[in-house]
Amino acid sequence: MIDSGNYYKQVERYAEQIRKTSSADEIIRILDIVLSMTKGLKLSDEIFTAQEQVKCAEQKIKSLKNELEQLRELVQIDQMTGAFNRRGLDDIFKREAARADRNAQSLGVVLIDLDNFKQINDTLGHSYGDNILINLVTIAKKTLRPSDTVARFGGEEFVILLPDVELEDALTIVHRLQNNLIKNSLLQIDERSISITFSAGVALRSFGEHQHSVINRADRALYQAKRTGKNRIIPALI
């Protein structure tokens, strides 16, 4: 319990901290503190009649916090496909890597690249290419486990994080995604029916391994998949 005098002094101090930061996470943390203080405010006789104003302030703080949480989600999402973007991937990787190290679990990292995507864009137009990217993410979300994450890495490249999975299981999951994509995406180019396919490199993160390192290993495996015929899934070397 705090009295009103100390309450307003502390609120002003936290307001100054909010003005100095651009981090949504930090602002949300500060709002949580202010909300806790507001709930614990000791109502003296002087401010007893302002009880409704205190409740109103509490609701405004909650509303602002919710808006900031929604904004934080938006800046981590690729707006076209609905997959996470690079910033979202970075945050999720840190969290999943820390959990994997803490629980002595594996973390599968998959780098996929749509095959012949430039030809599709050049032949059918970028709008059609955009729809293919959106379709891939839609199928991935239906195919992957609830704990898995799909993120757009750039262009037609995507990263998939598979927590607590062994290499054989990771390969099985990616093969399932590959088959589902082929079954659910068929297009016509030069009077030929062509299925949309992707090539992929699959790496298992080692204990303490940095994001850049494990993605590089998956990328080398992806390059091998492309070089040896495309529409392939290659496990990465340790």
Q: What is the rounded CA–CA span in Å between residue 27 and residue 61?
A: 11
Kindly report the CA angle at 154 between 78 and 132, in degrees rounded to 5? Answer: 70
The structure tokens listed for 31 are 């709002």
Q: What is the rounded CA–CA span in Å between residue 126 and residue 40?
A: 56
CA distances from 238 to 125, 172, 213 (A): 39, 19, 11
Q: Which residues is 110 bridged to in the sheet?
A: 160, 202
Sequence letter at residue 28: I
Owner of token pair 């973390």:
107
168 given a catalytic annotation:
no
Q: Among the options 156, 168, 191, 209, which is catalytic?
A: 156
Angle, helices 51-74/24-39, rounded to nearest 10 degrees? 160
Catalytic residues: 156
